[in-house]
Copies of this chain bind each other. A is one copy, B any other.
Amino acid sequence: MRDQSKIEPKTLGRRIIEGDRLALARGLTRVENRTPEGRELLDFLFHQTGSAVRIGLTGPPGSGKSTLVSWLARKFRERGHQVGILAIDPTSPFTGGAILGDRIRMGDLAGDAGVFIRSMATRGHQGGLSATTYEASEVLEAAGFDRIIIETVGVGQSELEIASAADTTLVILVPESGDAIQVMKAGVMEIGDIFVVNKYDRQGGDHLLKEIHAILDLSPPDRHDFWKPMVLSTTASMGTGVDELMDAIQAHTESREFDETEREKIRRQKIRARMRLLLSGRLLDEAWSQILEVRLNEVLDRVVERSISPYAWIDGMVAEISRRGWQE
């Protein structure tokens, strides 16, 4: 086993492209840790990317996302794809959140060289999460994975992030999430390409399905020029409805290939959104490590004893950085 820790980015990149799994793991770590070497690596791999299909799954805890992910991975494998899985859901069995059972169900995937599973640690609230996730997906793509599944727990901000990273976004809901519709109204509605009522066999499944349809019928048509969101039902624990879901994902992928103008527009929006996230994260990381942490430590006592207001200090700090950055 070669020591990859001191390998320079281009060499590591070449090994990743050749299919070296150890190099891939190492590269992902560098990217996740947002090191300068990680960025060089991404820069090197960038020209190998641009064609993989990214499928995002979001939904509340307990909606069975991980079981669906396993099914999708198996089905993609049957169709000859190489499958990368990025789990950024802290409750996912892929990331180690499950207590028992789930991890065992994933067992058959773990033994398949055409499947690569990576847990992503959730980071602070500096917008770094999805940026790193997308970067990781580019590394996977360069390593030959042409279907990348991103699983994230969804209520709130992470949804928008997954929508910016994924080509096809699945919103998973279950009958027992009583306020599903409220949640949907609060933003999920906007991002779902395919809505999945999982655990459909439970009480309320049919009712939820109808509610989703009703809300979609009310939504403004301008978003749906080339794709009308689909609503499907599954019982992932039994595999019921999974083939139909695969067909829907395929149909969504093809719909984008169909309309060149629309596809370019979407691509542009996504690239912009990702660059915003990346740049914001980098800027904060640098500013905090280079100057802000130290300066905050210096002023903290005075704020705690209320002799200076945090607002005045922050204004001054922002003004200073705007004038001269943070280098000596």
Where the two chains meet, the residues of A that have a C-beta atom closer than 8 Å to any C-beta of B are 39, 42-43, 46-47, 50, 60-62, 90-91, 97-99, 122, 125-127, 130, 153-158, 160-161, 176-183, 185-187, 264, 267-268, 271-272, 274-280, 282-284, 286-288, 290, 292, 296, 300, 303-304, 306, 309-315, 317-318, 321-327
Q: How far is the CA of A165 from the CA of B44 in the complex (A)?
A: 42
Contacts of A99 in B (CB 8 A): 181-182, 185
| Cβ distance A256 to chain B, nearest Cβ, rounded Å | 15
Most central of A182, A284, A312, A313 by chain B CB within 10 Å: A182
Top 7 A-B residue pairs of the complex, sorted by shortest distance between their CB atoms: A90-B186, A62-B179, A61-B179, A62-B178, A46-B309, A91-B182, A155-B155
Given A43-B312, A126-B127, A310-B275, A282 and B160 contact (CB-CB distance below 8 Å): no
Q: How many copies does the complex hold?
A: 2
With A126-B127, A325-B325 known as contacts, the answer to whether A317 contacts B279 (CB < 8 A) is yes
Measured CA separation A265–B181 after assembly (Å) = 42
Residue contact A314 to B282, C-beta cutoff 8 Å: yes
- 5 residue pairs from A and B, CB less than 8 Å apart: A62-B178, A125-B130, A279-B296, A282-B315, A287-B322
Cβ-defined contact, A272 with B287, below 8 A: no
B155 touches A314 (CB 8 A): no
Is B290 touching A322 in the complex (CB atoms < 8 A)? Answer: yes
Taking the closest CB of chain B, its distance from the CB of A247, in whole angstroms, is 29
